[in-house]
């Protein structure tokens, strides 16, 4: 895959991408969390989980014993509704216990339907779209002022890209030459109602980010090797903020959810649905979180 690939090529690559056992296991944890909460934004978590897997396993510096360690890389999930994926990675990395996942959205739980800064490992509360990215720009500007070497990563949604504040913040990231900042666009091409093409077309998306002064790379957001390789090349250019357009599939890994607009957010999910959700993932295994 390279920059000459068409949108159709990228979309097909994401759709055809085969998931390895680790990606399936992380998806089972997402489904288990949904099952315990009986609700949640499942498909968007499945869309970003492979990106988060690579960021947490291979790219970002952090210390779960000291979540506010000064030299940590900062991460903001600007599209906060994908939080179950982040919660799973926070549990995998021992910021929180897996037991917290099983209390998802219950009264008095640590983990709710959008990530809060009170959770160890969460830098900033998101949920209302268009907020996380400007704050990440502030983090990156601060690192530049302080001549600090840590990096800032944020994931925004394609639906979220309709918010003006995203493009305002992009102008500032470019103005201040924030090469320590990487914005990843989770480009699954689905909003709640329908596709981006029908609701609000973002194309030509890569050209838009380039014209805002970003160094842009595109990637199959479910291809672990490709994600690692792309992140390893950061910064893509000197004195430019980085944009990675990650082509993804909303609901990736569960055929019943892929392309299903009825599943953006579900509440009161019937228990019998979960057998179907686990089916393509190999079924729940108690060892998945051991």
Partner 1 sequence: MRKIVLDMVYELAKKDKRIVYIGSDLGAGLLDNFKKEMPDRFFMEGVSEQALIGMSAGLALEGKIVYFNTIATFITRRCFEQVVLDLCLHHANVRLIANGGGVVYAPLGPTHLAMDDIGILRTIPNMTIIAPCDADEMKRLMPQTVNYQGPIYIRLAKGGDPIISSDKHECTIGKAIVIKEYNTPDALLIGTGITTKLCIDAAEQLDKENIKTTILHVHTIKPLDKEAIIKHAKKAKSVIVIEEHTTINGLGSAVAEVLMNAGINVKFKKIGFPDVFPEGYGSQAQLMEKYNITADECIRTIKESRC
Binding site residues, partner 1, CB under 8 A: 117, 123-125, 128, 130-131, 133-143, 145-146, 164-165, 168-169, 171-172, 175
Q: How far is the CB of 160 from partner 1 (least distance, A)?
A: 13
DSSP type of residue 207: H
Residue 129 beta carbon to partner 1: minimum distance, rounded to whole angstroms = 10
In degrees rounded to 5, what are phi and psi of residue 245? -90, 110
Contact 122, 86 (CB under 8 A): yes
Least distance in Å: CB of 108 to partner 1? Answer: 19
Least distance to partner 1, CB of residue 289, Å: 31
Return the number of the residue (99 or 117) whose C-beta is nearest partner 1: 117
Which strand (E) or helix (H) includes residue 54? helix 42-54
Task: Write down the least CB distance from residue 117 to partner 1, Å.
Answer: 6
Residues 6+ away with beta carbon under 8 Å from 263 = 42, 43, 251, 256, 257
Q: Smallest gap, in angstroms, from Cβ of residue 269 to partner 1?
A: 28
- Among the listed residues 208, 216, 235, the one whose alpha carbon sits nearest the alpha carbon of residue 2: 216
Q: Choose between 68 and 287: whose C-beta lies nearer to partner 1.
A: 68
Query: Which residue's structure tokens are 């393509």?
Result: 280
Question: Are 138 and 74 in contact, with CB atoms under 8 Å apart?
Answer: no
Closer residue to partner 1, CB minimum distance, 29 or 173: 173
Residue 154 or 217: the one with the smaller Cβ distance to partner 1 is 154
Nearer to partner 1, 69 or 261 (CB): 69
Burial 256-290 (b: 16+ CB within 10 A, else e): ebbbeeebbebeebeeeebeebbebbeebeeebbe
Tokens of 123: 């830098």
Pick 94 or 128: Cβ nearer partner 1: 128
- Could you tell me the smallest distance in angstroms from the CB atom of residue 54 to partner 1? 24
Nearer to partner 1 by Cβ, of 145 and 268: the residue is 145
DSSP 195: B
How far from the centroid of its chain's Cα atoms is residue 248's Cα? Answer: 10
What is the C-alpha to C-alpha distance for residues 206 and 83, in angstroms, rounded to an integer?
25
């Amino acid at each position: 895959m390279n920059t000459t690939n068409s949108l159709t090529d990228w979309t097909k690559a994401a759709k055809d991408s085969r998931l390895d056992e680790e990606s399936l296991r992380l998806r089972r944890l997402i489904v288990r969390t949904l099952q315990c909460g009986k609700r949640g934004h499942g498909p968007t978590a499945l869309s970003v989980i492979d990106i988060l897997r690579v960021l947490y396993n291979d790219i970002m510096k952090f210390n779960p014993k000291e979540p506010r360690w000064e030299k940590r890389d900062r991460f903001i999930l600007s599209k906060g509704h994908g939080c179950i994926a982040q919660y799973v990675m926070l549990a995998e990395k021992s910021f929180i216990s897996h037991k917290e996942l099983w209390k998802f959205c219950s009264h008095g739980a640590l983990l709710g339907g959008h990530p809060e800064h009170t959770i160890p490992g969460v830098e900033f509360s998101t949920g209302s779209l268009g907020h996380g990215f400007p704050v990440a720009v502030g983090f990156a500007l601060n690192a530049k002022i302080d001549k600090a070497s840590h990096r800032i990563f944020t994931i925004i949604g394609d639906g979220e890209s309709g918010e003006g504040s995203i493009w305002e913040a992009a102008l500032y990231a470019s103005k201040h030459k924030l090469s320590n900042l990487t914005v990843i666009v989770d480009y699954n091409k689905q909003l709640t109602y329908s596709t981006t093409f029908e609701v609000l077309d973002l194309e030509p998306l890569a050209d838009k980010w380039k014209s805002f002064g970003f160094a842009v790379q595109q990637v199959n957001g479910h291809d672990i090797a490709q994600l690692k390789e792309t992140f390893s090349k950061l910064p893509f250019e000197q004195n430019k903020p980085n944009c990675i357009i990650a082509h993804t599939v909303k609901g990736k890994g569960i055929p019943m959810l892929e392309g299903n607009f009825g599943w953006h957010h579900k509440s009161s999910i019937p228990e019998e649905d979960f057998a179907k959700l686990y089916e393509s993932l190999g079924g729940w295994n108690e060892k998945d979180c051991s």
